[in-house]
């Protein structure tokens, strides 16, 4: 059975940040190549250095629940060593749905921090490992602010006319009720599964009701190297 203590509550053996150079020297996971791809490639070098300086390293055990579905979000994580499983409870009387398996170099925990919502999935360590952890305040300052590209409806429509694609990150029931023309439904809790179907040569514009879920989805997509924008204010702004 999973250990009961989420790593968000775990103070344990925590090592202060060593800086980007230190991580690059001591592990291939965060090599120069990795820092030059995906989300990190879009960060100013000073932000990358500061991010690693502020991170702490924690040891975790196989079966340990790192984040729990329904809990508040306090940290962003990078996997230095180990494998973790992402699951989500859809129906209380059914087994959790496995959404993804995360490996060394993968990140998680950003959805709740970007959208300021509760955790929408549980992450459990499949093996022993080491995680790098960044607190919410530092995450917003060093990662969220530089990476989110908010655009107005007028700007979005111009990009759509030029070939960009709408991504509706709401639940399928919301999408069926009302969605923008030719929008693709990519629910936030399934966004990692949708990644492999998206074209890195295209631009995507995420939207939801208010802009909160679409911001979280855009952040995840940006981490994987996609060109993505967020419809400012969501569909509520469109109806005003």
Catalytic residues: 208
DSSP three-state, residue 114 = helix
Residue 103 forms beta bridges with which residues? none
For residues 29 and 37, the answer to whether their CB atoms sit within 8 Å is no
To the nearest 10 degrees (0 to 180), the angle between helices 45-54 and 19-26 is 80
**Residue reference for tokens 């496995």:** 98
Parallel, antiparallel, or unpaired: how do β-strands 14-15 and 97-102 relate?
unpaired
**Residue reference for tokens 């040569």:** 201
| Alpha-carbon dihedral 58, 64, 136, 156, rounded to 10 degrees | 120
Parallel, antiparallel, or unpaired: how do β-strands 122-125 and 84-88 relate?
antiparallel
**Residue reference for tokens 């579905």:** 69
Distances (CA, A) of 55 to 25, 91, 204: 16, 35, 30
Helix, strand, coil % in the chain, rounded to nearest 5: 35, 25, 40
């Amino acid at each position: 059975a999973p250990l009961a203590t989420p790593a968000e509550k775990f103070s344990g053996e925590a090592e202060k940040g060593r800086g980007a150079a230190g991580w690059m020297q001591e592990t291939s996971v965060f090599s120069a190549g990795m820092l030059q791809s995906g989300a990190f490639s879009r960060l100013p070098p000073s932000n990358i250095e500061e991010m690693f300086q502020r991170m702490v390293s924690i040891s975790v055990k196989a079966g340990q629940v790192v984040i729990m579905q329904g809990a508040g979000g306090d940290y962003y994580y990078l996997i230095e060593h180990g494998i973790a499983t992402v699951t989500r409870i859809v129906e209380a009387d059914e087994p959790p749905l496995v959404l993804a398996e995360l490996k060394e170099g993968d990140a998680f925990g950003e959805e709740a921090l970007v959208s300021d919502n509760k955790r929408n999935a549980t992450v459990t360590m499949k093996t022993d490992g080491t995680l790098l952890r960044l607190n919410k305040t530092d995450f917003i300052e060093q990662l969220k602010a530089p990476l989110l590209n908010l655009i107005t409806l007028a700007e979005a429509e111009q990009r759509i006319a030029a070939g960009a694609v709408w991504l509706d990150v709401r639940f399928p029931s919301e999408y069926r009720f009302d969605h923008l023309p030719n929008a693709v439904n990519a629910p936030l809790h399934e966004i990692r599964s949708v990644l492999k179907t998206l074209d890195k040569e295209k631009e995507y514009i995420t939207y939801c009701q208010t802009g909160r879920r679409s911001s979280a989805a855009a952040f995840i997509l940006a981490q994987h190297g996609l060109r993505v924008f967020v419809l400012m204010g969501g569909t509520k702004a469109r109806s005003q």
